[in-house]
């Protein structure tokens, strides 16, 4: 090419030098070549076709979430709790749901009269919590007398008041029906070790609470005509 030839001549002249009497002319400056623009690729020319954009993700069909509604009165849930304990403690043939309810109301009334609480503890939400403790802690094959059942049931109540009650602390006396406090605290620690995760979950997971609510209500039927408590959750 012309540019290469000019470069060689300039290099030779700079080494050998100009001949005598000859006037050195201007050096030729090589001109850089500009590459031609690439040809556009057309379909069918073999250059490949850019991939089409990905199709949009299909949208979810519209629809309302499934709504779960549970209704029950405090008296109804209290009766269901008594029915459950009577069935669980099958060895106690003379036990009635009303007796269990009287133990519960006696503790709550005592705390109100002594000024340990400003309002009653027996509410649907607290009954669900008591049901959780009783379902996991009361073992029918191990309970052979009403005194043993009362001691175990009041232990569950003490933990329920401590976890769910409005007060900072509660006295031990209304929950203690046996002379040995060591056995009472052993039962408390045993329940806490086994059920601590579930006791925390019932306050953190509304669907878990609703399931327990439904389980308690299914333990019995009936009501006392008092105001119903309603749970409404979207799933």
Task: Say how many C-beta atoms besides its own lie within 10 A of residue 95's C-beta.
Answer: 19
What pLDDT is stored for residue 56 in this prediction?
58
Cα–Cα distance list, 101 to 40, 179, 208 (Å): 89, 23, 25
Do you know the residue count of the chain?
235
The pTM score is 0.65
**pLDDT at site 157:** 97
Per-residue tens of pLDDT for the chain, all 235 residues: 555 566 666 666 655 555 444 445 544 444 445 455 445 445 444 555 556 666 655 555 555 445 555 677 899 999 999 999 999 999 998 899 999 999 999 999 999 999 999 999 999 999 999 999 999 999 989 999 999 999 999 999 999 999 999 888 899 999 999 888 999 999 999 999 999 999 999 989 999 999 999 999 999 854 443 434 444 443 3
Each domain of the chain, given as residue ranges in start order, spans 74-221
Q: Which structure tokens are listed for 136?
A: 């996991």
Half-sphere exposure (Cβ direction) of 25: Cα atoms closer than 13 Å? 5
Cβ pair 176, 33 in contact under 8 A: no
What is the C-alpha separation between 126 and 61, in angstroms, rounded?
A: 39
Strands (E), the chain: 67-73, 228-234
Q: How many H-runs (helices) and E-runs (strands) does the chain carry?
A: 7, 2
DSSP string, 31-91: PPPPPPPPPPP-TTSSS--PPPPPPPPPPPPP-PPPEEEEEEEHHHHHHHHHHHHHHH-TT
Check residue 54 and give its pLDDT. Answer: 64
216 touches 71 (CB < 8 A): no
Identify the pLDDT of residue 66. Answer: 54
Which 8-state DSSP code applies to residue 18?
P
Report yes or no: 194 and 135 within 8 Å, Cβ to Cβ. no
The CATH-assigned architecture of domain 74-221 is Orthogonal Bundle (1.10)
pLDDT at 193: 94
- Please tell me the predicted confidence (pLDDT) of residue 212: 95
Please give the structure tokens belonging to residue 171.
């006295």
């Amino acid at each position: 090419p012309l540019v290469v030839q000019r470069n060689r001549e300039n290099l030779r002249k700079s080494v050998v030098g100009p001949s005598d009497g000859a006037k050195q002319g201007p050096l030729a400056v090589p001109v850089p070549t500009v590459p031609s623009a690439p040809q556009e690729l057309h379909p069918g020319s073999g250059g490949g076709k850019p991939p089409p954009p990905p199709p949009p993700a299909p949208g979810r069909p519209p629809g309302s979430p499934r709504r779960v509604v549970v209704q029950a009165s405090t008296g109804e849930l209290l009766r269901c709790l008594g029915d459950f304990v009577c069935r669980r403690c099958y060895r106690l043939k003379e036990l009635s749901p009303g007796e269990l309810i009287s133990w519960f109301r006696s503790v709550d009334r005592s705390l109100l009269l002594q000024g340990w609480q400003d309002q009653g503890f027996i509410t649907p939400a607290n009954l669900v919590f008591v049901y959780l403790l009783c379902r996991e802690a009361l073992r029918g094959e191990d309970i052979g007398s009403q005194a043993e059942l009362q001691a175990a049931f009041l232990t569950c109540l003490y933990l329920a008041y401590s976890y769910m009650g409005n007060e900072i602390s509660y006295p031990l006396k209304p929950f203690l029906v046996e002379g040995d406090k060591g056995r009472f605290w052993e039962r408390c620690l045993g329940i806490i070790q086994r059920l601590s995760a579930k006791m925390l979950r019932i306050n953190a997971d509304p669907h878990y609470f609703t399931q327990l609510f439904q389980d308690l209500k299914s333990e019995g039927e009936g009501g006392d005509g008092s105001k119903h408590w309603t749970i409404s959750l979207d799933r």
